[in-house]
A and B are shown apart, each in its own frame.
Chain A
Amino acid sequence: GPPAPERVLFPPTFSVSEIKNKQRRHFMFLRWKQQQRKEKLAAKKKRRKEREALGDKAPPKAIPKTIENQRIYDETTVDPNDEEVAFDEATDEFAPYFNRQTVPKILITTSDRPRGRTVRFCEQLSTVIPNSHVYYRRGLALKRIIPQCIARDFTDLIVINEDRKIPNGMLLSHLPDGPTAHFRMSSVRLRKEIKRKGKEPTEHIPEVILNNFTTRLGHSIGRMFASLFPHDPQFIGRQVATFHNQRDYIFFRFHRYIFKSEKKVGIQELGPRFTLKLRSLQKGTFDSKFGEYEWIHKRREMDTSRRKFHL
Chain B
Amino acid sequence: SSQVVWDTLGNRQFCSYKITTKTQNFCRNEYNLTGLCNRSSCPLANSQYATIREEKGRCYLYMKTIERAAFPRRLWERVLLNKNYEKALEQIDENLIYWPRFIRHKCKQRFTKITQYLIRIRKLTLKRQRKLVPLRRKIERRENRREEKALIAAQLENAIEKELLERLKQDTYGDIYNFPIHAFDKALQQQDAESESESDAEKEEDDDEDEDMAKREFVEADDSELSDFEDMDKLETSSEEEQEEEEEVEKKASHSKSKGKTPLKGPTRRKRPYIEIEYEEETEPTAKT
Contacts and interface: CB of A to CB of B under 8 A. Distances in A.
B156 interface: yes
A246 B154 contact: yes
B159 A256 contact: no
A277 B151 CA distance: 13
B165 A265 contact: yes
B182 interface: yes
Contact of B264 (A244, A249, A256): A256
Contact of A244 (B159, B161, B165, B267): B159
Nearest to B256: A236
Contact of B164 (A139, A236, A240, A244): A240
Given A257-B164, A299-B139, A251 B260 contact: no
A277 B143 contact: yes
A40 B237 CA distance: 58
Nearest to B267: A258
A238 interface: yes
Interface in A43-81: 66-68
A63 B163 CA distance: 24
A266 B154 contact: no
B157 interface: yes
Interface string B239-266: 0000000000000000011011000101
Nearest to A234: B260
A249 B159 contact: no
B196 to A, nearest CB: 26
Interface in A244-261: 244, 246-249, 251, 253, 255-261
A291 interface: no
B266 A199 contact: yes
A176 interface: no
| Interface size band for A | 35 or more
B181 A262 contact: yes
Contacts of A244: 154, 156, 159-160
Interface in B162-197: 163-165, 167-169, 173-174, 176-177, 179, 181-182
B163 A202 contact: no
A187 B148 CA distance: 10
A211 interface: yes
Contacts of B256: 236
Contacts of A204: 260
A265 B164 CA distance: 8
A242 interface: yes
Nearest to A141: B128
A135 B16 CA distance: 53
Contacts of A275: 147, 151
Contact of B176 (A235, A240, A253): A235
B160 A253 contact: yes
Given A235-B173, A259-B177, A249 B150 contact: yes
A263 B165 contact: yes
20 contacts: A112-B130, A186-B143, A204-B260, A207-B167, A209-B164, A235-B176, A236-B256, A236-B259, A240-B160, A244-B156, A249-B146, A251-B154, A257-B164, A259-B164, A262-B165, A262-B177, A265-B161, A275-B147, A275-B151, A277-B143
List 9 tightest A-B contacts by C-beta distance, closest first.
A198-B266, A262-B179, A246-B154, A262-B182, A247-B150, A258-B267, A236-B260, A246-B150, A249-B150
Interface of B: 127-128, 130, 139, 143-144, 146-147, 149-151, 153-154, 156-157, 159-161, 163-165, 167-169, 173-174, 176-177, 179, 181-182, 256-257, 259-260, 264, 266-269, 272, 274-275
Given A67-B153, A251-B156, 15 more contacts: A139-B127, A186-B144, A199-B266, A207-B167, A236-B256, A240-B164, A244-B159, A247-B150, A251-B151, A256-B264, A257-B160, A261-B179, A265-B165, A267-B160, A277-B147
